[in-house]
Amino acid sequence: MAGSPPSAAPVLPDGLVAVVKRDCPTCVLVAPVLDELAARGAALTVYTQDDLAFPLTAVPVADDTNLAVSWHHGIETVPTLIRVKDGSEVERTVGWSRSHWEALAHVEGLGAGLPEMRPGCGSLSLDPDLADVLAVRFSGSVLRGRRIELAALEDEMEATFDRGWTDGLPVVPPTEARVLRMLAGTSRDPADIVAVVPPDLTAVTVEQVAINAVLAGCRPEYLPVVLAAVEAACTEEFNIHGLLATTYFSGPIVVVNGPIAQRIGMNSTNNVLGQGNRANLTIGRALQLVVANLGGGRPGRLGRPGIDMALMGAPGKIGCAFAEREADSPFEPLAVERGLAPGVDAVTLFAGHGPTAIVDQLSRSPESVTRSIAAALRAHGHPKLALGFDAMLVVGPEHGRLLREAGWDKVRFRAELDELLMMDVDDIVQGVDGIDEGMPASMAGRRVPKFRPGGLQIVHAGGDAGLFSAILGGWVGGAKGSTPVTHPVTDIPSTVPSPPGGPA
């Protein structure tokens, strides 16, 4: 549905046009110069941004207190002096500079008694308190989404719950100003199609993803990561439809690699899978809100089944994203292992949940800690099942240090793990140990790996202290379920706003 049409850019009158504000000392300083220009016969129009009583005597003051002229004509500094011919701008100068003003106005001897030059002030149209309102007022055509008016007596937060837009937690109401600000986080066109989102197979636009990123509480600089995550989730290999519909616990987990993680303030250290970091929590949440609100994949509630048939689900399904701790990792980053160049910003989507703790506080050698980790991994899903369920192993820094100091890289660690994760089917066949569950008798006598090839992802994350690692349990792996997908994060504008106070 079309948004409101953009307001047309006001045409500037021919001759000289000045834009000023009373609040700017340089503008007040040049007021006599403007009078002088008018007195010397120039066709001059002076727009004021704030005060219609701007002190001029020889020329009337034109009203730009709604800032339409300033916004449409890109005024960044006041005073700005523009020469206009046949309705088009020919040249402009900003601030006060005698030589520039004289050259532009084709006169000499301007502003006797004034200094040679004086810098101007910021245009009111760039005031941070006004910029969003003006963008909404003057660029209405950018947003195509359906506008919904919340009634004056309606509580905004309650309204979003009433309309079914939330995941059970409050969301940020997606006003036009907030959505426009969010869209500044990507250089992609708001109308671009990002992905076709199951289960309704909705082709969703950058704008629609941005609206849900607002709901989730994202900052604009997170948006490229959210867009990459949506793209990766909605691939045939990742199979978000099946992940959504399964009775199993898992949901999409987003692992972020590359310099963007630190730049947008993602957490890769203490409490990396926990609460407290806005980027980690809202990026994963935005993806899940896209699936729910745009894909139609809502969970059931209060006994009514939805598309999400999870028996119990997992807390991380509200959204789960984290950054890999790359700086002192014994391993190459996950995205590099999966084929991208070092230093490329990337997301890797994994169908999982968790974490499950691996405790080993006594190992002081890489061999010993690897055996501990393997023993825990062998129990993943069920100690008597192999080849079915994927996993992501999160190696904690204190465990990782044992590997790094012994010179074990990821290839070596994987080789050791692979051997330790081989299981004799005879030990785990159905019925053994008095447990009906297990591997089928038809596989008796064989030796099989716990995980399918490619079914175990390994990353490094967590704080400095604590001799633990963790397993993020995965869903059915491979073509029968979900295959992890890595996508680069792209279309980051050169002027992405920084988080307040810098990276966390």
Is 73 or 219 the residue whose CB approaches another protein more closely? 219
- Nearest distance in Å: CB 149, another protein: 5
Nearest to 99 by CA among 90, 89, 107, 91: 107
Query: Is the dihedral angle over the CA atoms 377, 382, 385, 390 positive or is it negative?
Result: negative
User: What's the rounded Cα separation, in Å, for the pair 341 and 461?
Assistant: 20
Is 146 or 364 the residue whose CB approaches another protein more closely? 146
Measure CA 275 to chain center.
18
User: What's the rounded Cα separation, in Å, for the pair 90 and 407?
Assistant: 66
- Nearest distance in Å: CB 277, another protein: 23
Is 4 or 66 the residue whose CB approaches another protein more closely? 4
Task: Tell me the one-letter amino acid at 378.
Answer: R
Task: Tell me the one-letter amino acid at 25.
Answer: P
- Nearest distance in Å: CB 230, another protein: 14
Is 93 or 212 the residue whose CB approaches another protein more closely? 212
Is 293 or 486 the residue whose CB approaches another protein more closely? 293
**Is there a contact between 388 and 456 (Cβ–Cβ < 8 Å)?**
no
Q: Please give the structure tokens belonging to residue 258.
A: 């590359």
Is 45 or 208 the residue whose CB approaches another protein more closely? 208
Work out whether strand 61-63 and strand 485-488 pair parallel, antiparallel, or are unpaired. unpaired
Nearest to 492 by CA among 267, 259, 278, 281: 259
- Nearest distance in Å: CB 236, another protein: 9
Is 243 or 374 the residue whose CB approaches another protein more closely? 243
By the criterion CB under 8 A, which residues form the site for another protein? 1, 143, 145-152, 156, 164-165, 173-176, 179, 200, 202, 204, 207-208, 211-212, 215, 239, 241-243, 245-246, 289, 293-296, 476, 479-482
Work out whether strand 389-395 and strand 456-460 pair parallel, antiparallel, or are unpaired. parallel
- DSSP assignment of 79-141: SEEEEEETTEEEEEEESEEHHHHHHHHT-SS-STTS-SEE--EE-GGG-HHHHHHHHHHH-GG
Query: For the chain, what is the radius of gyration of the CA atoms?
Result: 30
Is 366 or 388 the residue whose CB approaches another protein more closely? 388
Q: Does the N-terminal peptide bond of residue 199 adopt cis geometry, omega within 30 degrees of 0?
A: yes
- Nearest distance in Å: CB 175, another protein: 6
Nearest to 67 by CA among 119, 21, 104: 21
- Nearest distance in Å: CB 199, another protein: 8
Is 294 or 467 the residue whose CB approaches another protein more closely? 294
- Nearest distance in Å: CB 333, another protein: 29
- DSSP assignment of 438-501: SB-GGGTT-EEESS-TT-EEEEE---SS-SEEEEEEEEEBGGGSB--EEEE-----TTPPPPTT
Is 287 or 335 the residue whose CB approaches another protein more closely? 287
- Nearest distance in Å: CB 450, another protein: 20
Output the furthest CA–CA distance in the chain (Å, rounded). 105
Nearest 10 degrees: CA dihedral of 61, 62, 68, 73?
A: -80
- Nearest distance in Å: CB 43, another protein: 41
- Nearest distance in Å: CB 360, another protein: 34
- Nearest distance in Å: CB 280, another protein: 21
Is 293 or 329 the residue whose CB approaches another protein more closely? 293
User: What's the rounded Cα separation, in Å, for the pair 190 and 183?
Assistant: 7
